[in-house]
Amino acid sequence: MSPNADLARAQQRFARRQRLVRWKGWLPWAAGGVLVLLGAITVWLFYSSSALAVEGVRVTGIETVPEATVTQVAAAPLGTPLAKVDLPAIAERVRTIQAVADAQVTRAWPNHLEIVVTERVPVVVVTDGSRFELVDATGVSFKTVPTRPDNLPEALVVGSRRDVTIRSVVTVSAALPVALRSEVRSISAGSPDSITLNLGDGVKVVWGGSDDSARKAEVLSVLMRRQAKVYDVSAPDLPVTKGEKR
């Protein structure tokens, strides 16, 4: 083999190694450029393109609140890229509906928002003698109905401190054992500190204020082993009965 042929092959091998070295040097830059390009496409797709824009709203968790009311109050920005939607703001608007206790909003890719509603659950119906208000466990009056619901205890609330009194009534009702709560025909409250439970056959429980309600419920459960017309647990350490049968 001639020296010229060996030299040519050596030059070819050298040239290939040089190209490989240059390619390895450019490879990180090329990979970085591809990543930047992909990132730019992703940002455009999620934040500027109409491909992932809001097309509608799905509402779940509702039973009494009309879906149309929720979607109207939510005011979802249709046509806005889903990634740019202010979810907390929508949830806050939905929570302004009286019968809604809470609302959570999530993105349902690719084109929808999902609103999960938690409705208020009535625990007592409050009346002033002319109207009936449904009140939940937090003491919030959220709906007025024309007639008294049969499955809820009725509370006749009067006086100037009505909102505070209603919260006190709810606290008392929640503290009652289930068996005793089912015996309550109505609750009378002229103030937060003058709550009376009206049971069947004219039997009354003088409760007083909502403080120490758990303790009062325990004392009442023991006291009612006696048959009486009035049970006074307003001072739970000194309970009193009246009209007790001997």
Q: What pLDDT shows up at residue 206? A: 96
Tokens 């709550």, located at residue: 195
Q: Output phi, psi for 58, to 5 deg.
A: -110, 130
Spatial distance between the Cα atoms of 67 and 125, rounded to a whole number of angstroms:
25
Q: What pLDDT shows up at residue 120? A: 95
**Three-class DSSP category at 128:** coil
Per the confidence metrics, is the pTM higher than 0.75?
no
Spatial distance between the Cα atoms of 237 and 226, rounded to a whole number of angstroms:
17
**Three-class DSSP category at 141:** strand
**Three-class DSSP category at 4:** helix
Q: What pLDDT shows up at residue 51? A: 72
Q: What pLDDT shows up at residue 128? A: 74
Angle between helix 87-94 and 67-74 (nearest 10): 130
pLDDT digits (tens, 9 = 90+) for 97-126: 999 999 999 999 889 999 999 999 888 898
Amino acid, res. 82: L
With CA atoms as reference, report the closest residue to 246 among 227, 220, 219, 230.
227
Q: What pLDDT shows up at residue 58? A: 96
Q: What pLDDT shows up at residue 22? A: 57
Q: What is the arrangement of strands in the sheet containing 100-108, beginning at the earlier edge strand? A: 56-60, 112-119, 100-108
With CA atoms as reference, report the closest residue to 45 among 74, 93, 2, 82.
82
The segments of the chain whose pLDDT lies below 50 read 14, 45
Q: What pLDDT shows up at residue 201? A: 86
122 CB contacts (<8 Å, ≥6 apart)?
Answer: 134, 135, 136, 142, 143, 149, 152
Average pLDDT, the chain: 84
Strand pairing of 204-208 and 230-232?
parallel
Q: What pLDDT shows up at residue 228? A: 93
